[in-house]
Chain A
Amino acid sequence: DAKTTQPTSMDCAEGRAANLPCNHSTISGNEYVYWYRQIHSQGPQYIIHGLKNNETNEMASLIITEDRKSSTLILPHATLRDTAVYYCIVRFTLNDYKLSFGAGTTVTVRA
C-alpha cells in the first residue's frame, strides 16, 4: 500500500472548518483513500473514503487532487468533540483488506 504523510498536529477553532491534508504521492490507480479518526481511549471511527472523485457525507468532505497525489479531509464546522487523531490510509481494496495505520494528525479543536 502507498505510504501517506500527514502533519503531526494541528489546532482549529470551534465552529470553523478544519482542513486536514494528506500526501500520498505513490498512490496507484486502484488504491482508495480512507480516513478514520480515533478519539482518546476509543476504537477508530470510519469517516469517509474515495477513489478519485470528491466525496461528502454527514461527517465530512474528501477532496482528492486530480493527480491523486494528495487529499484533504474537511470537517465543515468543527466542534470540541472532533478533537481526535485523524488517520489517512491508502489501500488497495480488491484483494487486501488490511488497514495500515500511521501516526496520524492530532487535531485539537479549541473553544
Chain B
Amino acid sequence: GAVVSQHPSWVICKSGTSVKIECRSLDFQATTMFWYRQFPKQSLMLMATSNEGSKATYEQGVEKDKFLINHASLTLSTLTVTSAHPEDSSFYICSARVRGGRSLDTQYFGPGTRLTVL
C-alpha cells in the first residue's frame, strides 16, 4: 500500500519559535497533499490543501501566514508553524492523494506529529 511518513513524530518547542514538519510519500508521487490538525478528544480538521508547484489552499479560519506550506516536489510537503504559541499545541497529520486505477482517489495518512509548545 501507499506509505506516507512524517518527521518529526513529536516536537517540543518554546513559545515564539518556528517548527517545520515534513510529510513524504515514500513509494508514490503525490500531486496533492493535505494537512490536518487534531486536538485532544476531537476529530481531524482539515487545515489546507497543498498542490505541488503552486500555493496551498487554506480552509476558512486557518491563518496562512502562521501555517506556511511548501510542496516543492511530488514527494515532499512541509508545514511550518511560525511563532508557535501554546494554543498551537496539537497533533498535526498529513495525507497524500493517490490517483489511478480502481483506487480512483484515496488519501493515505502519515503517522502524525505531536507538537507541544511551552
Contact = CB atoms under 8 A, between A and B. Distances in A.
A41 B111 CA distance: 8
Nearest to A98: B46
Given A41-B112, A42-B112, A43-B112, A100 B46 contact: yes
Contacts, number: 53
A93 B107 CA distance: 11
B43 interface: yes
Nearest to B10: A41
Contacts of B104: 32, 49, 93
Interface in B1-50: 1, 4, 6, 32, 34, 36, 43-46, 49
Interface of A: 32, 34, 36, 38, 41-46, 49, 87, 93, 97-104
